[in-house]
Structure 1
Amino acid sequence: MSLGALVLVAAGLIAGTASAGEQAAQAEQAEQAALPASDPAKGLVYTGLQRRKAGPCGPDLLEVKGTNPVMCTHGPDAVPAGLSVKSSVPALAAAAAPAAAAQALAVCEGDGTSGRRVEVLYVHGSTSRYQQYLETFRSLAEGVDTIFNESAKETGGERHVRYVTETVNGACRPVVRDVQIPDSALNANDWAPLLNAVKAAGYTRTDRKYLQFVDANVYCGIGGFAGDTRKSDSNRSNSGPEYARADNGCWVAGVAAHELGHTLGAVNNNAPNASGHAHCTDEWDVMCYKDGDEVVVRTVCTNRSHDDRLDCNHDDYYHTNPPAGSYLANNFNVADNLFLIKGTGGGGNPQPDTNLARSATASASYTSPWESVAAINDGIDPPSSNDTVNPRWGTWPNSGQQWAELTWSSNQTLKRAQVYLFDDNQGIDVPSSWKLQYWTGSAYADVPGASGYPVTANAYITVTFTQVSTARLRVVLQSTGTSSVGLLEVKAYAS
C-alpha cells in the first residue's frame, strides 16, 4: 500500500472516531432542537430545560437541568389573557383587608402541620413585599381551595387542599412562609437556580407540595409534573418535594390552581382529551388551553365560568366517584391525591382522610426506658428508619414477638393503616415479619383481607384491609434472631 493510501486510511479512522462523538452531540442537539422557542413576553422560557428520551423524565416531559434529584416538568405555561408577565398583580386593596381577614378555609385538618400538605411560600430577593402581599397570598391559596372543592361538588363530592395552616384572628388560614433567596437566583431565566436556593433554605420535605408565589417577572407559571398514570397510593404525584411556581404577573387563583394541579397529577398524556403536553383540549377548564401548534381545542363546556373549574365533563383527571370502567376508574385520578382532604359526598366517597391514630392512646408489650411508646402516634413523619432526632419506640434488649397498639375511647371505622419501621443498626432491626390485629370485643384477630406486609425501611408501609369497627389496633412484630424491634409512626384511616 502506498504512503498516500495509508494516510487516507488513517484519516478515515480518525474521522470515524470523531464522527461517533459528533453523532452523539448531534443527537443531543436534535433533542434540544425539539424544544419550542422561548417567548419571554408570554412567560415561555425554556432556558435550563432539556428533553432526553432516555432520561428519567422520558420522551414526553422535560428535565430541569442542574437539580438533584432530577425534576420533571411539562414546561412553562403561557400567560392567560388579561395578564402580563412583566406587570405585577396589585396587592389586595387596604379597604378590602378587614373583610379578607374574616375569611377562612372551609375545612382544616389536624394540627395544621403533620402529614402530606401543601405549603405556601413567598419567594423574593433583597426586596421583600411580604407584609404588603400577605393577605393576598392567603386569599389566593383559599381561592385555589375553592376551585378544587367547587369542582368536586360537580361530581357530588367534596375535596379540599390540605394546607399547612395556622389560626389568624380565630380563623384557620394557610401559612405563608417568607423565603429570601439571592437576587441572581430569583431573576434567572432558568428555574434551577431558584429551586436550588429554595431547597437550600430547607424546603425539601417529602410530604410537601410547595406552592411558590415568586416575586419575579420570568414565568407566568411552571410546575413539576410526574406523568405517572398508575392508580396507586405509590403514584409519584402522591409524594414530594414538588414545586409549583407563579410569578408576580400571574398572582391569581386560576394560575396557582393550574400549577398546583400539575404537581398533583394533571393532566396525564393518556387521558381521553389530553393535549400531549400535560393539558387538556376540551374547554372551558383550568388545565386546558392550546399548548402546541398541532393541538386543536374544542369548546365542550360552554359556560366560560368553568375556566375556574377542574376537568370539563370530569373524564380526564378529576372525578370524586368515577363510573366503573371509565378512564378515571382505571388510571390516576387527582381527586384521589393524598394531598387533598376527602369529604363525605359523592355516592360512596370515603370519609375525611384523617389520621385517626392521633386521637388514640399508645401502649406496648415493652418499651426501652429511654424510648417512648407515645412516639408511634405523635404525628411526626420520620426522615428515615434510623431517626436520631425525633422520639421513637423500641424494645431493646427484648426480642421475639413484640407489639404496640392504639386504643380509642370508642369504636373507630378502619380500612387502612401506615407503619414506619425503626432500624438503628445498633440492636434494633426491621422485623422478620409483622402484621396488624384488631380487637373484636373479646379477642384479637388479624385484620381481614390485608393487602400484604412488606418489610421495608425508610418509608411508610401502607396496608389496606376489609373495613373493621374496633377500639384497638395492634401492630405485632416478630424480631430477627436476638435483635429487637421498634416503630417510629403508625397511622390509621377510615378509607
Structure 2
Amino acid sequence: MAVATGLVAGALGISTALEPAASRTGVTAAADGSVNGAGAPANDGSSPGQTGTAESATKAPAPKHDQKPVPLKEIPKDQPERGMVYAGLSLPTGDQCAGLLQETGGSLCTHGPDAPPEGVDIHKTVPPVVETAAPAPQPGNGSGQSPTTAAPAPQPGSASSQPPTATAPAPQPGSVAAYAPQAAPAPGTKPAASPGAAGKAPASPGATAPSASKAPAGTEVVCDGDGTTGNRVQVLYVHGPGQDQFATYRDSIKKWAADVDVIYRASAEQTGGNRHVRYVTDQNCTANVLDVEVPAAALNDWSATNNALVAQGFNRKDRKYMNFTDAHVYCGLGNFAGDDRPGQDNWSNFGPSYARIDAGCWSGHAAAHELGHNLGAVNNSAPDSSKHSHCTVTWDLMCYKDTSDTKLKTVCPDMVNYDRLDCTHDNYYNANPRPGSYLATHWNVADNQFLIGGGADRNNHTPITPEVTIIRLTSTTVEFSWPHVAGVSRFRIVLNGRPGAPIPDNTYENVNRVPMPGLQPNTDYSLAIETVDANGKTSDPGRTTTFHTPAG
C-alpha cells in the first residue's frame, strides 16, 4: 500500500475541511457500545439497515466479473516483519471470492494484507498528531467541550497556503465582489450566525457542518442528516485488554478520519464533483469514534478480529467499519467485493465490511486506501488494474507494486496525486465520467452510497454546498475562494448571515475566487456559500468560515 513514511507519522500535507469532537463510547463488557448512547448497537439480525437506493434496490445475488479472475493456488507465506500475515484467511470456497481470499469460516472477501511502504516499521506505533485535552460530549447530551477549532492547515502549494498580505487586488468593475451582501457590522460587534449553523441538522437534504465547532483543529467532517441514519462509515478504536489508549489517541483518530474525507473530497473536485465520506458523526460534526475492546488473541487474526466485532454488534448492513487497531500485526487490509456492475445493487454498496489499520501505519492516507477497497477499488477489469485489487500508475493512492510481477508506469508525476484517488480518472473514481468511458459502464467508487454525493444523493439531494477558504486578509478586504460544485449554476455569498444576490459559477481550474472590499477594521465576520441549481432551488448555507480583520 502506498503510504508515505511522513504520512504514516501523521504529517498529512492536506487541509481538513470539517470535523467535530469525537465521543468516547467504550464497547467493553461493562460499557455502553451504542453509537447514540441509547444501548448496544443493533446487529445484522435485528436491524437490516439500508439495503439499497431510495428506489429500494437490493444487493445483487453475486458479484459480477467482466474478466474471469485468476484463482489463487495457495495462501502466500507470512512475512510478519512487513505485516504480511495471512492468519484467518483461506482460499475461496466458491465463485463469490474468485481471485481473492476469503475470511476463514466467513463469506467476506479481501485481497489480503497491504505491504507497508519502504522505511516504515509496522512495529513502531505512530505518535498522536492531536493532543486530547478533554473528554468530548456524547452525541446529543450537550455536555463537555473540546478545544476550539482553529483554521485547518493549508495544503502545500495550494492557494490557501499563501499567508495573509498587506494588500489585496481591488475588484474589477462587474466582478463577483459586486454581488456580495452589504452591511458590515460596526467595529467590535459579533456577526450574526448563519442559518443552519451551530451543528443543527440541515433543514433540507444535503450536507452541512456547524459554524461554531468545539472540536480540535483539523478534525471536522461533513455532517449529513442526524449523523446516524442510513449508510455510514463507523470509526472504531480497537484494542486488547489492558491496552486502552483511547484517551490519548481519540482526537488523532478523528483527525485521520477527517484526512480521509479531504482525500475523497479533493479527488472528486478534480473531476468537477463533490464527495464526502458519510461518517457516523457526533453533535460537533466529527467522526464518532467508539472504544472497542476485543480478546488479545483476536488481534493476531483477521477473521478472529472481525468475529469479535460481530459478537459486539458491529455487523450492520448499513455500516462500513474503519478500525484503527492498536496492534502491530498488519500495516492495513480491507474487505473487497470485486464487483464490476455499475448499478446501485453492486456489492460494494452494502455492509458490513471492515478496514483495519494497525498502529504502525495510522494515518489518513492508509485509512483512505483501505476504505477504498471497501468502497470497490480497484476491479480487475479497470484499464490500469494490477489484477490484485490495485492499479499500476503513479502517483495514485490505490496504486503500488503489489507483487513482484507488477510493473508501474508514471502517468501522473505530480506528487499531490499520492494523496488523490484515480489520477487518470477512469480506473475507479470519477464524479463525472465521460459517457461511454470505462467508469460510465462499470462500478465507480464515486457512486457509492457511503459517500455524500454518491448513490441516491446524485439525484435526490440538493447539491452539496462548498466550503470557503480565506486566501488574503487586510483590515478592509478579504479574498476567498470555494470549489466548483457539479449541478450548480449560481452561488450566493452569505456574509454575517445575510445572503447576497445570485452570482454565476465563474470557475477557473474548478475554483471560484472572490475579492471583497469595504470591510471594517478590527471586526469579526462570517462567510458561507449557498448554491442555486438550474431550477432555482437554493441550498442551505454551507459551513461557515469566520475571520477577524486586522486593526489596520
Band of TM-score, shorter chain: 0.5 to 0.7
Q: Is the 8 A contact 1:343 1:352 kept in 2?
A: no
Tell me which of 305, 308, 321 is aligned to 1:194.
305
Instruction: Tell me the TM-score normalized by structure 1.
Output: 0.61
Matched position secondary structure for 1:195: helix
Question: 1:65 aligns to what?
Answer: 104
Cα gap change, 1:179 to 1:95, in 2 (>3 Å): closer
Matched position secondary structure for 1:128: coil
Amino acid of the structure 2 residue aligned with 1:283: T
Tell me which of 125, 146, 150 is aligned to 1:88.
125
Question: 1:34 aligns to what?
Answer: 74
Deviation at 1:54, TM superposition (A): 3.4
Which one has the bigger helix percentage? 1
Question: 1:113 aligns to what?
Answer: 228
Cα gap change, 1:353 to 1:72, in 2 (>3 Å): farther
- Cα distance in 2 for partners of 1:333, 1:178 equals 32
Deviation at 1:342, TM superposition (A): 0.7
1:129 aligns with 2:242: no
* Structure 1: gaps (5+ residues): 1-30, 355-468, 470-495
- Cα distance in 2 for partners of 1:353, 1:179 equals 36
Amino acid of the structure 1 residue aligned with 2:268: A
1:352 aligns with 2:461: yes
Q: Is the 8 A contact 2:382 2:427 kept in 1?
A: yes
Question: 2:113 aligns to what?
Answer: 76
Deviation at 1:351, TM superposition (A): 6.0
1:249 aligns with 2:286: no
Q: Deviations over 1:443-469 (max 9, x none)?
A: xxxxxxxxxxxxxxxxxxxxxxxxxx9
Cα gap change, 1:350 to 1:149, in 2 (>3 Å): farther
Cα gap change, 1:146 to 1:351, in 2 (>3 Å): farther
Q: Is the 8 A contact 2:131 2:248 kept in 1?
A: no
Deviation at 1:92, TM superposition (A): 2.1
Deviation at 1:305, TM superposition (A): 2.2
Tell me which of 71, 80, 83 is aligned to 1:43.
83
Cα gap change, 1:324 to 1:218, in 2 (>3 Å): same
Deviation at 1:331, TM superposition (A): 0.2
Tell me which of 273, 276, 285 is aligned to 1:157.
273
Mapping for residues 235-384 of structure 1, pairs under 5 Å:
235-342=346-453, 350=459, 352=461
Deviation at 1:154, TM superposition (A): 0.2
Which one has the bigger strand percentage? 1
Mapping for residues 424-463 of structure 1, pairs under 5 Å:
none
Deviation at 1:275, TM superposition (A): 0.3
Matched position secondary structure for 1:296: coil
- Cα distance in 2 for partners of 1:233, 1:333 equals 10
Matched position secondary structure for 1:166: coil
Matched position secondary structure for 1:313: coil
Cα gap change, 1:104 to 1:254, in 2 (>3 Å): closer
Cα gap change, 1:248 to 1:95, in 2 (>3 Å): closer
Amino acid of the structure 1 residue aligned with 2:316: R
Amino acid of the structure 2 residue aligned with 1:113: T
- Cα distance in 2 for partners of 1:234, 1:192 equals 26
Instruction: Tell me the TM-score normalized by structure 2.
Output: 0.55
Q: Deviations over 1:407-464 (max 9, x none)?
A: xxxxxxxxxxxxxxxxxxxxxxxxxxxxxxxxxxxxxxxxxxxxxxxxxxxxxxxxxx
Matched position secondary structure for 1:177: strand
Matched position secondary structure for 2:436: coil
- Cα distance in 2 for partners of 1:312, 1:53 equals 35
Deviation at 1:83, TM superposition (A): 2.5
Number of aligned residues: 319
- Cα distance in 2 for partners of 1:307, 1:94 equals 27
Tell me which of 180, 188, 213 is aligned to 2:293.
180
Matched position secondary structure for 1:122: strand
Amino acid of the structure 1 residue aligned with 2:295: P
Q: Is the 8 A contact 1:63 1:72 kept in 2?
A: yes
Q: Deviations over 1:299-343 (max 9, x none)?
A: 110012211100011110000010011000000000000000018
Matched position secondary structure for 2:109: strand
Matched position secondary structure for 1:246: strand
Matched position secondary structure for 1:137: helix
Identity of paired residues, percent? 50
- Cα distance in 1 for partners of 2:94, 2:317 equals 25
Deviation at 1:43, TM superposition (A): 1.0
Q: Deviations over 1:26-60 (max 9, x none)?
A: xxxxx8753332211111112332223734312x1
- Cα distance in 1 for partners of 2:316, 2:454 equals 25
Matched position secondary structure for 2:443: coil
Amino acid of the structure 1 residue aligned with 2:111: H
Matched position secondary structure for 1:293: coil
- Cα distance in 1 for partners of 2:219, 2:296 equals 33
Cα gap change, 1:156 to 1:130, in 2 (>3 Å): same
Question: 2:323 aligns to what?
Answer: 212
Amino acid of the structure 2 residue aligned with 1:311: D
Q: Is the 8 A contact 1:342 1:351 kept in 2?
A: no
Q: Is the 8 A contact 2:264 2:421 kept in 1?
A: yes
Q: Which structure has more RCO (C-alpha within 8 Å, separation ≥ 6)?
A: 2
Amino acid of the structure 2 residue aligned with 1:91: P
Q: Deviations over 1:163-199 (max 9, x none)?
A: 00012xxx3111001101111112x2x2111110011
- Cα distance in 1 for partners of 2:250, 2:322 equals 14
Q: Is the 8 A contact 2:395 2:410 kept in 1?
A: yes
Q: Is the 8 A contact 1:228 1:236 kept in 2?
A: yes
Tell me which of 116, 135, 140 is aligned to 2:256.
140
Deviation at 1:350, TM superposition (A): 4.5
Cα gap change, 1:104 to 1:46, in 2 (>3 Å): closer
Amino acid of the structure 1 residue aligned with 2:291: D
- Cα distance in 2 for partners of 1:315, 1:32 equals 27
Amino acid of the structure 2 residue aligned with 1:352: H
Deviation at 1:293, TM superposition (A): 1.6
Cα gap change, 1:243 to 1:322, in 2 (>3 Å): same
Amino acid of the structure 2 residue aligned with 1:314: H
Cα gap change, 1:134 to 1:353, in 2 (>3 Å): farther
- Cα distance in 1 for partners of 2:379, 2:325 equals 26
Cα gap change, 1:129 to 1:211, in 2 (>3 Å): same
